[in-house]
Amino acid sequence: MRDVVVLGAGIHPYGLFPDKHYTAMAVEACRSAFADAGVAWKEVGALYCGSVSLLPGCGHAVAFTLGPNGAPVTNLENASASGSSAFREAFLAIALGEHDLVVALGVDKLKTNKGSRQMIDQGADPDKRFSPAHLFAKMARDHMERYGTTIDQLAGVSVKSHCNASLNPNAHFRQPVTLEEVHTARVVADPLTVLHCCPWDEGAAAVVLAAAEVAARFTAKPCPRVLASVAKGLPGPEALLDITGALTDLTRSTAEEAYRRAAIAPRDLGIVELHDAFTIEEILYCESLGLCAPGEGGPFVGSGATEIGGKTPVNTDGGLLSMGHPLGPTGLGQIAEIFLQMRGEAGQRQIPIPPQYGLAHMVAAGGVCVIHILGR
């Protein structure tokens, strides 16, 4: 397989844009990525578009708006991992020699049908139907009871997230919050208040990938290499009996394979962008990714290790909690943040020493985990 690098990235801010068509957001993100990468749309060999709430063929509508160039368009829907899956398909298309230059795009708009968002059906019994907030609230209560994780440690994830987002012009929520504000916000599912939960919003993100051997034709800037791209699903139906444990186990097994392919260890990571739709997830996935020992996630995040100046910065862009979670673009926004940090172009939220290695992690409804590792 050929070496693949990231040439450029572009983001349309996350938030609510009721008067803006999704094609306008997507084209803005794409053109920003093209300018960053030094490429023209006519040079792109293929487009992979991830979305959840849009109509089939949304990627074709974006390509038509950019101007037909003969490039094949593939649309992907994989719940929260839609953008991550688009990036993986783009990576494979280049690695396997199908194309030299590819764009991965994620874009989404809100819609009124919220059935799939609000409920996860774990069987025919109505008592076994829970909203994601209730599922993750139970995970939080279990972790607190078993390991002594505190409500301040959980709330501290939100405080750190909002602080990082306040430094990010593309973030949805750019107002810092205090522990007290997190504690006293409206309760969603005990012990989680609304400031423990991510928004559901809109936006777009685009990433340009290229075969390493052609990168110098487009830019003289350093281009991080994609060292690993791994996707795994639940091992069997029995996993649904303990979906909370299944997500952490799935993350662990996917990460182990990604580390093996990238030939690195968790201690080598200089930045991690992980799925934090709820604050407990940052604590759990820090453990599953091997950043700390099982049960030590609370003290780990409480120590400041995940802050921008910490041992392993996590979600420097604000994460799903504060940057936002528009679904389709989310995984690509993670890649864009790692890319900017590696180039030293993250502005006020820049990690003091640009990271050598970065990991992007995304889990999604239905039982999927996608992990990418970049290295410069």
Per-residue pLDDT at 274: 98
Report yes or no: 73 and 63 within 8 Å, Cβ to Cβ.
yes
Query: What is the C-alpha separation between 313 and 271, in angstroms, rounded?
Result: 5
Where residue 203 falls (left for φ over 0; alpha for ψ -120 to 50; beta otherwise) is left
Residue type, 31: R
pLDDT higher than threshold 80 for residue 45: yes
Q: Answer yes or no: are the C-beta atoms of 107 and 77 closer than 8 Å.
A: no
CA distance 24 to 62: 8
3-class secondary-structure state, position 295: coil
pLDDT-derived band at 365, boundaries 50, 70, 90: confident
Neighbours of 8 (CB within 10 A): 25
- The SS3 of residue 353 is coil
The pLDDT assigned to 115 comes to: 37
How do residues 128-186 score in pLDDT, each as one tens digit? 445 889 999 999 999 999 999 999 999 999 999 999 999 999 999 999 999 999 999 99
Nearest to 152 by CA among 175, 194, 180: 180
For the stretch 237-267, pLDDT in tens is 666 656 667 889 999 999 999 999 999 999 9
Write the DSSP string, 44-90.
--EEEEE-SSSPTTHHHHHHHHH---S--EEEE-BTBTHHHHHHHHH
Q: What is the pLDDT of residues 307-322, one digit of tens each?
A: 999 999 999 999 999 9
Could you state, in order of their start, the residue ranges of all structural domains in the chain? 4-110+199-375
Predicted local distance difference test score (pLDDT) of residue 116: 34
Question: Domain 4-110+199-375 is of which CATH architecture?
Answer: 3-Layer(aba) Sandwich (3.40)
Read off the pTM.
0.94
pLDDT at 120 over 60: no
- Over residues 16-26, the mean pLDDT reads 97
Task: Provide mean pLDDT across the span 100-117.
Answer: 77
Cα 123 to Cα 126: distance, rounded to the nearest angstrom: 8
Tokens 């607190």 sit on residue: 144
Question: Which residues are within 8 A (CB) of 95 and not within 5 positions of it... i.e. 6 or more apart?
Answer: 1, 2, 3, 4, 226
Tokens of 325: 């979670």
Query: Cα(63)–Cα(355) distance, rounded to whole angstroms?
Result: 34
SS3 292: coil
CA distance 376 to 374: 7
The rounded distance, in Å, linking the Cα atoms of 316 and 313 is 7
Q: Please give the order of strands across the beta sheet that includes 4-15.
A: 73-76, 46-50, 101-108, 202-211, 4-15, 225-233, 368-375, 357-364, 271-273
Cα separation, 95 vs 48, in Å, equals 15
pLDDT over 70, % of the chain:
93
- Name residue 340's amino acid: L
Separation CA 327–CA 316 (nearest Å): 18
Predicted local distance difference test score (pLDDT) of residue 239: 60
